[in-house]
Amino acid sequence: MSDTFDKHPHVRGYGMASARSRARLLDRLEALGITDIRVLEAMGRVPRHRFVDEAMSSRAYDDTALPIGYGQTISQPYVVAQMTTLVLAYGLPGKILEIGTGSGYQAAVLAELVDEVYTVERVEPLHNLVRRRLADLGYRNVRARLASSGVLGLPNYGPFDVIIVTCGAAQLPETLCEQLAEGGRMIVPVGESGGQRLVVVRRQGDHFSKEFLDAVSFVPLIENDR
Ligand code: SAH
């Protein structure tokens, strides 16, 4: 008899209960149209229950955003799957920058796929927690940085093949565009809450083309200490 768990043989470790619920989550993502096997396998390998508070861990494999403190949330798995699909859509990036580390879950999923992951967070306790968490889980290819304004990016570490912003920007963050490698792409939710759209910016020389995708709902990007 083949069940959900047999269908996803790459889902292993961290205990059977978690592996089974993770396999069920992958089924749901597939049903919602996530077809890139690399994305599904990467999400199958990351123990999302280790990225939320223990009190919340029984809900870690539900397809919902969950609170992580400081008014922030770990993104909904479907959204992480969509963003990761877009990251891979134009070839495997070598170096990626994420703005909005939050729980570190999206960074861990990316670290399963990409050689070098940089991630920036402005809330210090979240940043500290993520550093410990990623070290405990053995992610050595993620560099987490604390910065009061992620929109300034990490000029000393760029250029990046892909930049993903996991908080909603009121306007397109121009400074980040400059840190894209030639042919690189930025995936960023833009617009006021309630009216956010996912935008893909592509760099060709000094030209930046924009493509507008789905409506999305991310927590806001905070500029400095406004
Ligand atoms: N990618 C995360 C979810 C992000 S929630 C995950 O997988 O869990 C958005 C995060 O962006 C929050 O933690 C918030 O503090 C952070 N953030 C908001 N504005 C920011 C800014 N200007 N620079 C860096 N991080 C920012």
Digitized pLDDT (tens) for each residue of the chain, 226 residues in all: 446 666 666 665 567 778 889 999 999 999 999 999 999 999 999 999 999 999 999 999 999 999 999 999 999 999 999 999 999 998 999 999 999 999 999 999 999 999 999 999 999 999 999 999 999 999 999 999 999 888 899 999 999 999 999 999 999 999 999 999 999 999 999 998 788 999 999 999 999 999 999 899 899 999 875 4
pLDDT at residue 185, as a whole number: 98
- Active site residue: 2, 21, 57, 75, which one? 75
Q: Tell me which of 51, 63, 79, 121 to substitute to probe ligand 1's pocket, judged by most ligand atoms within 8 Å of the beta carbon.
A: 121
What is the atom index within ligand 1 of the atom nearest the CA of 74? 8
CA nearest ligand 1 atom 18, residue: 221
How many CA atoms lie less than 13 Å away from 95 in the CB half-sphere?
13
Distance 220 CA to ligand 1 centre (A): 8
User: Beta strands 180-190 and 160-165: pairing type?
Assistant: parallel
Task: Report the pocket of ligand 1 as residue ranges, CB < 6 Å.
Answer: 72-75, 99-100, 102-103, 105-106, 120-123, 126, 149-151, 166-167, 219, 221-223
Q: Among residues 73, 72, 96, 74, which one has the least CA distance to residue 84?
A: 96
Q: What pLDDT does 5 receive? A: 60
Query: In angstroms, rounded to a whole number, what is the distance separating the alpha carbons of residues 118 and 143?
Result: 5
- 209 catalytic residue (yes or no): no
Q: What predicted TM-score, i.e. pTM, was given to this entire model?
A: 0.94
Q: Which domains does the chain have, with CATH numbers?
A: 65-216 (3.40.50.150)
Provide the CB-side half-sphere exposure for 148 (13 A, CA).
3
In whole angstroms, give the CA distance from residue 36 to residue 50: 24
Strand partners, 204: 207
Q: Is 55 exposed, middle or buried (CB count within 10 Å of its CB: 0-12, 13-18, 19+)?
A: exposed
